[in-house]
Chains A and B, each alone.
Chain A
């Protein structure tokens, strides 16, 4: 993984001093809250319901053991002993004091970390495949380019006051595990002409109030031209994106208003005029950065291991963990292990300081010092020898991190909701807990199979409900929390936006409604291999709608098309 050199270290220390000075000026009253807010946001510091919240950048979700330990230490010293991993592969701390934030940034700088641009109307953390560099379906490791984008976008002086936030994702594998279609810019490494890998560039995807699947703007882009092309897109957006209406200021609205053809024309025109050599990465720099991402030197080993096989036979919990949380690795005899921070009944994405220490320890002893944060608010140990799998599993059991539900229905993506967030309309965490417990039984969850379940506490859609196979949106209905259900969203290659099923439910009726939806799926699927999403796409939403809103008509075979959606 990338390691800071003297330059990076000097830069981040300078940034810490700058922020300390900004905080001092704020406390003195030299700058007003209005003027301070964008400065603190560009350092990831929000004011939430109960306290300040600090979002720390985990560039493209990659952490070393030392960094994860530092996050645990920060959780203990400055927070209440835990942190919350986010869908941008970052971590946030919920109980932060403004006066201590500069000290926290100093601590982070000691391990090559920061909170730069984790909020604000600027380019945010670039996200990628949590299995980058080890996945068997990978064309090329996207982390090299994610790091290049990180450096290029860091305090890019032109793009810190964009109309709105800006998110980039990149994937290098056949299967998109980075939800690139729901990003302002999505980048996919593809095999181009002449057997050279190139980039396909997508633009204008996003969630929020107006969910949009990104459009292809350029099927093939030479890799060495990436930064100038990104700069052209950003410049067109910076100049022409709407600034009069917060809800219409993302690039997706500009792309829609102009049409992808006209937007592309403007980008190409701008790109033509750019001084590319001063923007694109010199080859020596590419090589310097790429060298950090050389594959870990692993020795191929037998793909069967007696200890693992024996444990699978003797221990159903281990067998379930291996079925759901253990993934093939490029090097035979190795696996990637997913750690689900989703024990039913717990807060999705939360990890305690002790758990962070435990994972760091496992990564050091067995995992070549590397941990990944996933889009789904979980962790991954990407490089584990099969012969160490039992030891790793036992370590996870001891840390209370052995939930065998990765990518199952109880592996719920949820935003903090009204329990912490200033913007939320409804709570998300208790809903996630209720539903996960309903489907907590392993056999039941596995029978249902892969199911992307997402909950957002408001229309800003931080829980990505639009792209959930089942999505829940919390709304405020005359002062009470209600929940709207959408079905059929998908964040992957077949990206789609969920469709609203019907009127919202009060919290107490929601788990029952979800049970009904799942029951319809189990009844209607053609065979146990047909996923929830596949069944939904085959039969449409009517059977689900009927079951929820018109059960009598369902029994008598009647129609229920008259239902109004809200």
Chain B
């Protein structure tokens, strides 16, 4: 079995372009720590389906799942790109 990497689903808001993450009750949140973490492929499929619904409803665009580290139960980005995105601004 390949090792499963925990994931969250992220997107940008259609109207503002703001970076958001899929939180509980299909609410999009700004803070990655508030995102729902998928721990297996079924959970991920559910998140992705919710992402698709929000995309179909013209709420968000550019929806994708991203791997995260989980620290004390909360998602944390680990690639440079996602760290910069999660910070909502440039590193400089």
A residues with a Cβ closer than 8 A to B are 26-29, 33, 47-52, 96-99, 347, 418-420, 424, 426-427, 429-430, 433, 479-481
Contacts and interface: CB of A to CB of B under 8 A. Distances in A.
Interface in B9-27: 12, 14-19
Given A26-B58, A47-B62, A419 B88 contact: no
Which 3 pairs, one residue from A and one from B, show the smallest C-beta to C-beta distance?
Answer: A419-B90, A51-B17, A52-B17
Contact of A419 (B15, B62, B84): B84
Contact of A427 (B55, B79, B89, B91): B91
Nearest to A28: B58
Nearest to B56: A29
Contacts of B85: 49-50
A50 B91 contact: no
B28 to A, nearest CB: 15
A347 B92 contact: yes
B71 interface: no
Contacts of B17: 47-48, 50-52, 96-98
Interface of B: 12, 14-19, 55, 57-58, 61-62, 79-81, 84-85, 88-92
- Among B80, B88, B91: residue with most chain A CB under 10 A: B80
B92 A49 contact: no
A418 B58 CA distance: 27
25 contacts: A27-B14, A27-B58, A28-B58, A33-B55, A33-B61, A33-B62, A47-B12, A48-B17, A49-B81, A50-B85, A50-B89, A50-B90, A52-B17, A97-B16, A98-B17, A418-B80, A418-B81, A418-B84, A419-B84, A419-B92, A427-B91, A429-B90, A430-B91, A479-B80, A480-B80
Contacts of B18: 50-51
Chain B interface, DSSP helix/strand/loop, else mixed: loop
Given A26-B14, A27-B58, A50-B19, 6 more contacts: A27-B14, A29-B58, A33-B62, A50-B90, A98-B14, A430-B91
A427 B58 CA distance: 31
Contacts, number: 66
A26 B89 CA distance: 26
B15 A98 contact: yes
Contacts of B92: 347, 419, 427, 429-430, 433
Contact of A420 (B62, B80, B90): B90
Given A49-B81, A418-B81, A427-B80, A27 B88 contact: no
B68 to A, nearest CB: 14
Contacts of A479: 79-80
Contacts of B15: 27, 97-99
Nearest to A430: B92
A67 B61 CA distance: 33
A97 B15 CA distance: 6
B71 to A, nearest CB: 18
Nearest to B14: A98
Contacts of A48: 17
A29 B57 CA distance: 7
Contacts of A480: 80
A402 B85 CA distance: 33
A351 B73 CA distance: 42
A33 B90 CA distance: 26
Nearest to B89: A50
Contacts of B19: 49-50
A47 B61 CA distance: 9
Nearest to A481: B80
B16 A51 contact: yes
A47 B84 CA distance: 15
Nearest to A429: B92
A50 B16 contact: no
Nearest to B81: A418
A99 B58 contact: no
A50 B58 contact: no
A528 B89 CA distance: 43
A420 B58 CA distance: 24
A97 B58 CA distance: 15
A235 B91 CA distance: 44
A487 B74 CA distance: 45
A290 B67 CA distance: 58
- Among A51, A96, A99, A420: residue with most chain B CB under 10 A: A51
A480 B78 CA distance: 11
Contacts of B14: 26-27, 33, 98
Contacts of A430: 91-92
A298 B66 CA distance: 61
Contacts of B55: 33
